[in-house]
Amino acid sequence: MIGGRRVLLAVTGGVAAFKAATLARLLIERDAQVRAMMTVPARKFLGSNTLAAITGHPVIVDLFNDAESVSPHTEAAEWADLVVVAPATAASVARLAQGLSSDPVTATIMAATCPVVVAPAMHTAMWKHPATQRNLDTLRSDGVAVLGPIVGRLAGGDRGPGRMMEPEELLEGIQALFAAPLRGVRVLVTAGGTREAIDPVRFLSNHSSGKMGHAVAAEAARRGAETTLVTCSPLPSPPAVKRVDVVSAHDMAEAVSSIEVDVAVMTAAVADFRPQKSHGSKLARSEGFNVLELAPTRDVLGEVVGRKTRPRVVVGFAAETGNVERAIGKARKKGVDLMVANDVTIPGSGFESDNNQVVLIRRNGEAEPWPLQAKSRVAAGLWDEVTRLLEEG
């Protein structure tokens, strides 16, 4: 599992940096190839010579004065199968969430396409601060795995949540990541709101940001699936995901039609109607424009369900306004294996929000309400369900 894998251990500046040495040793004992990098503050807590001696390789500490490489961060990013940030301080979590590539660790992660794990370590007050929690939610929706922290004794003698996971626990978490339960499974995810052109400057669309779909794709890739994301959203691509950008329902249907998969998760808010006629040049006010004639769009989900080689599992999403019970009928009519219904009128949920409150509808019509939670958590729960369906056959 972990044997032969290339793990880049990135150490940032907290007291728990000393545990990174044990983690490096444990990884090497499991036959992983380990290289290390450290930020300047990390070296106040642990000497780079210690990690160099354990890993048998020089430690990257500087982006500019490295005698061996002109571009240490991109070379390290290309080399790694996994980056583990341990410990991850509140400041490094914040920099990562904002994409600030101001030190070797964040610059490398910005350049990496492999999975990333962070193991936060900080005082309880810093851990509980809304800014830290917001930053971690951002990282989770970018596909980063967050391991820990645990409750325990902290620097300064306090006790509470914020202590970095012990190296043995981190090793277990890293091994679980490499176990990749969806390895070999081909996954398609649609995301975002389609735009149906009225003329070259105007369109019909909806409020979908693509956050839900990108979180679903990120989680699939994190679990090892070969993931294609067909998206209308400008959000960045999750790591290790093949991306196809589309604009209209027709574009989405065309893109999806050539992708053979085992699992399709259709989170996109596809317009049901498009303007009958899309004008080639901008309509002028003086031309008068009172009536917009509409025509139905292609049913992307319907086309996937109706294929000769239907994916083994098809998941639909249903955006409802007030009555999620309607989604049970929609699930039956659409012929999906799972339907994820969300009431998009609930404040802080549905469109554009980082969170979602959904009801999972199974094949037998059973409806299971889930609490309001981060979209990354909805995605994780959804992939647990899909994995069960795949195992049942």
Q: What backbone torsions phi and psi does residue 120 show, to the nearest 5 degrees?
A: -65, 145
Q: Binder to ligand PMT among 316, 337, 382, 383 (CB under 6 A)?
A: 316
Q: Who's near 143: CB < 8 A, 6+ residues apart? A: 115, 116, 218, 219, 221, 222, 238, 239, 240, 241
Half-sphere exposure of 337 (CA within 13 A, CB side): 22
Smallest separation, CB 140 to ligand PMT (Å): 14
351 binds ligand PMT (CB under 6 A): yes
Stretch that binds ligand PMT, among 47-55, 85-93, 208-216, 284-292 (CB under 6 A): 208-216
**C-alpha–C-alpha distance, residues 277 and 293, integer Å:** 8
Stretch that binds ligand PMT, among 58-66, 144-152, 171-179, 210-218 (CB under 6 A): 210-218
Q: Binder to ligand PMT among 210, 238, 239, 275 (CB under 6 A)?
A: 210
Smallest separation, CB 321 to ligand PMT (Å): 10
The answer to whether residues 12 and 39 touch, using CB atoms and an 8 Å cutoff, is yes
Strand partners, 34: 7
Binding mask 296-315 for ligand PMT (x = CB under 6 A): -x-xxx--------------
The answer to whether residues 282 and 201 touch, using CB atoms and an 8 Å cutoff, is yes
Query: Which residue lies nearer to ligand PMT by CB, 146 or 324?
Result: 324
325 binds ligand PMT (CB under 6 A): no
Query: Which residue lies nearer to ligand PMT by CB, 198 or 340?
Result: 340
**C-alpha–C-alpha distance, residues 11 and 92, integer Å:** 10
Provide Rg for the chain, Cα atoms.
23
Whether 342 is catalytic is: no
Binding mask 22-41 for ligand PMT (x = CB under 6 A): --------------------
Scanning residues 56 to 75, which ones bind ligand PMT (CB under 6 A)? none
Catalytic residue among 206, 290, 323, 355, which? Answer: 206
Binding mask 242-281 for ligand PMT (x = CB under 6 A): -------x----------------xxxxx-x---------
**C-alpha–C-alpha distance, residues 77 and 109, integer Å:** 7
Per rule CB under 6 A, count of chain residues that contact ligand PMT: 27
How many C-beta atoms lie closer than 10 Å to residue 279's C-beta? 15
187 binds ligand PMT (CB under 6 A): no
Tokens 């309880």 map to which residue? Answer: 124
Q: Binder to ligand PMT among 127, 178, 317, 383 (CB under 6 A)?
A: 317
Which residue, 70, 372, 29, is CA-closest to 171? 29
Where are the alpha helices (H) located in the chain, listed in sequence order? 18-29, 48-55, 72-79, 90-98, 104-111, 124-128, 130-141, 167-179, 211-222, 249-257, 300-305, 326-334, 375-392
Smallest separation, CB 134 to ligand PMT (Å): 17
Query: Which residue lies nearer to ligand PMT by CB, 62 or 352?
Result: 352
- Which residues are catalytic, by number? 206
Q: Which positions touch ligand PMT (CB under 6 A)? A: 190, 208-212, 249, 266-270, 272, 297, 299-301, 316-319, 342, 344, 350-352, 356
